[in-house]
A and B are shown apart, each in its own frame.
Chain A
Amino acid sequence: MSYLRDRMIQAIVTVYLIVTLTFFMNKSMPGGPMDWLEQDIYQNPDLYGLPPNPQPEEVQEVIEMYINIPPDEPIHVQYYSFMYDFFIHQEMGESIIVAPHADVGDLILTYAPWTVFLSTIAMIYGLVVGVILGSLMAYWEGSRFDVGMTVTMILTGGVPYFIAAIFLLYFFGFQLGWFPTGGRADPRADVGMNLEWVLSVFYYASLPALSFIITGFGGSALGLRANSIRLLGSEYVRSAQLRGLSTYRIATTYLARNAILPIWTGVVIGLGGLIGGSVIMEMIFQYPGMGLLMFEAAIRRDFPVLMGVFAVISILFVIGTLIADFTYPLIDPRADVKESREA
């Protein structure tokens, strides 16, 4: 328990530091957001709704609106104001270009869920299938099943997901017409938690999810298989065999459960990356999500959005690591060990 409390403290400190870093990047980077914005406003005041030759106060107001840092105040006031807005109000400034005057936080919240949804489906399917297949393959090492699956997995794993995506799109979307060719949900259905809409969301996500799953499931399966094979000779596996346990039981409770331990941490840490999604996938399927948002913001130098996304994704990684640490003892009972030190 004390180990976990330590980790919480560490996580909180890290998050705090991330946001502080964001503040300084905004403010102090040469050519960074504040400087650039200031310059741009003076050069193109009309884009910002200001008269030509604007007054310094007006410029500062505009900057503050977008970046959330009052420009002329002393640094500790700026710092306090920025942090306060971030943590208490979740305000990260406003988008300049991508969606002018839209609150960055709102913007992220609009796009993120779609990406998270897609990535999560892909991840869960890939993981579950991968784990089951991986353990069975390990248990039947060398059999035709094992060899066949390995070959399949290597082949599918070697295909870049966007190739698979294009292929699926062409074949099942355009040629056969079984799946929609773009979009996130049925445009005719009313948005909301009604059955029709929800079903259409899943329907529209099918092809993108499938592209990820088909090309991705092999990785976790092969990883788990390798780990499991290492454990095959273990005394406890042999003991389980001697006790007459079924293949399935051994493969899951005795092999997979132990083999998954190193993989679990990787998975959970990767949770933080789910929100990033994939630009390419979103473009192929016209599936507006975080990927597209970040892309747009990046090309068009929409700093507030970029900074906001940076902060959010970093924090999510920290949360992901924290969840990994908290859940690891649930699957590995040996993990809740205190350090024994000399007095």
Chain B
Amino acid sequence: MSAEATEVRAETDNVLEIRDARVTFDMARGRARVLNDISVDIKRGETFGIIGESGCGKSTFGSVLMDAVEDPGITTGEVLYYPEEGAEPVDILDVTDRQLRQIRWEEIVMVSQAAQNAFNPTITVRRHFTDTFDAHNVDRREGLERAREVLEDLRLEPERILSSYQHELSGGEKQRALLALGLIFDPEVVVLDEPTAGLDLLVQREILSLLYELKEEYGFTLLFISHDIPMVAGFADRLAVFYSFNIIEIGDIDDVLLNPEHPYTRLLTLTHIDLDMAMEDVNTVEGETPDPINVPSGCPFHPRCPIADDRCVVEEVELRGEEGTNHKVACFYPDVATDRIPIHPSLVEGGEENV
């Protein structure tokens, strides 16, 4: 289903404008659409959080930004990238191979789900760096100097890490080394897909702190994809909620988390187990995540939605919101949702129970 672009004011400096991004691939059972005509703008310098369950399309969205959707997926649409404010945009989905190889890693970087296997086991970390330098025509010595700086920023000992093989590093060290590798060319956009998955608690926490610092220092635009809301809650300026290969809610983080309007978002907050809440308040979202080949008609959430009615089964709904706000939601009845569906107690101001 197509969605209106989020409101763009003339002065807003967007670093990425995505229009009708769609990813399909053919399976034996039928044609699967794993990203459904997404249109959204990413502002320069912001932290854009993306939330959703596994298989909702959020990782695919990240891949689209580098035209890196894996075969046999077919990507259509436009991804306009503005290298600087006021510059001419470039459609990442439509550049030559050579241009793409330059854009990848120099302009836009993606660090995937926990770096546990992102390193070639037979070469040193240093070699990963130098290979990348070679591919981008950067002098190796200069590059390595820069690499040492970045590694230190990530609280790693440069020499030890560079001369190690990946199996000699701990999970946290690997993840940070991969981040260093990502930041090496000072990119404009950094996409992180579950950067803390599989890591210990204290290590996760440390990486979050580091990311926060680094974003301030380096000034890149950050897209933070996660299935765990607390990971992005402290970070993000805006948040987009993915469901069934669409964005079903988007807006400033305070709006989306403290005043969610989509039934799914509201229910999703309840899946967070808080250390202080009563266990009975914890809930899951009933039902199954949609099959990309067989997406429900109308609003894709209707089979699991507690307030769905006939209109929801039949009619498709686009992102809509009030004039003047950034908060958009793909639901016919956001008021009903706010009334009838509780959200997580910790999100309620003053700690009152939301009936």
CA distance A241 to B66 in the complex (A): 11
- Neighbour of B122 across the interface among A235, A249, A333, CB < 8 A: A333
- CB neighbours of B112 from chain A (8 A): 235, 238-239
Q: How many residues of A contact B (CB 8 A)?
A: 22
Q: Is A194 an interface residue (CB 8 A)?
A: no
How many whole Å from A233's CB to the nearest CB in chain B? 8
Q: Is B241 an interface residue (CB 8 A)?
A: no
Q: Check if B70 sits within 8 Å of A238, measured CB to CB.
A: yes
Q: Is B148 an interface residue (CB 8 A)?
A: no
Question: Which B residue sits closest to A257, measured CB to CB?
Answer: B122
- Neighbour of A236 across the interface among B109, B118, B124, B167, CB < 8 A: B118
Q: Check if B122 sits within 8 Å of A240, measured CB to CB.
A: no
- CB neighbours of A246 from chain B (8 A): 101, 135
Q: Is A334 an interface residue (CB 8 A)?
A: yes
CA distance A238 to B117 in the complex (A): 10
CA distance A64 to B110 in the complex (A): 76
Question: Which B residue sits closest to A236, measured CB to CB?
Answer: B120
Q: Check if A332 sits within 8 Å of B122, measured CB to CB.
A: yes
Q: Check if A244 sits within 8 Å of B104, measured CB to CB.
A: yes
CA distance A244 to B184 in the complex (A): 13
CA distance A240 to B131 in the complex (A): 9
Q: A235-B112, A334-B167 are in contact. Are A243 and B120 (CB under 8 A)?
A: no
Q: Is B233 an interface residue (CB 8 A)?
A: no
Question: Which B residue sits closest to A260, measured CB to CB?
Answer: B122
CA distance A249 to B131 in the complex (A): 8
Q: A244-B136, A245-B131, A333-B167 are in contact. Are A236 and B104 (CB under 8 A)?
A: no
Interface residues in A233-283 (C-beta closer than 8 Å to B): 234-236, 238-246, 249, 253-254, 257-258, 261
- CB neighbours of B122 from chain A (8 A): 257-258, 261, 331-333
CA distance A234 to B67 in the complex (A): 18
- CB neighbours of B136 from chain A (8 A): 244
How many whole Å from A148's CB to the nearest CB in chain B? 20
CA distance A236 to B106 in the complex (A): 19
Question: Which A residue sits closest to B167, measured CB to CB?
Answer: A334
Which of B112, B121, B124, B127 has the most C-beta atoms of chain A within 10 angstroms of its own C-beta?
B121
Q: A239-B178, A244-B135, A249-B134 are in contact. List 6 more A-B contacts (CB 8 A).
A: A239-B112, A239-B118, A243-B181, A244-B136, A245-B132, A257-B120
12 of the cross-chain contacts (CB-CB < 8 Å) are: A235-B112, A236-B120, A239-B178, A240-B120, A242-B105, A243-B104, A243-B135, A244-B136, A253-B123, A258-B120, A333-B122, A333-B167
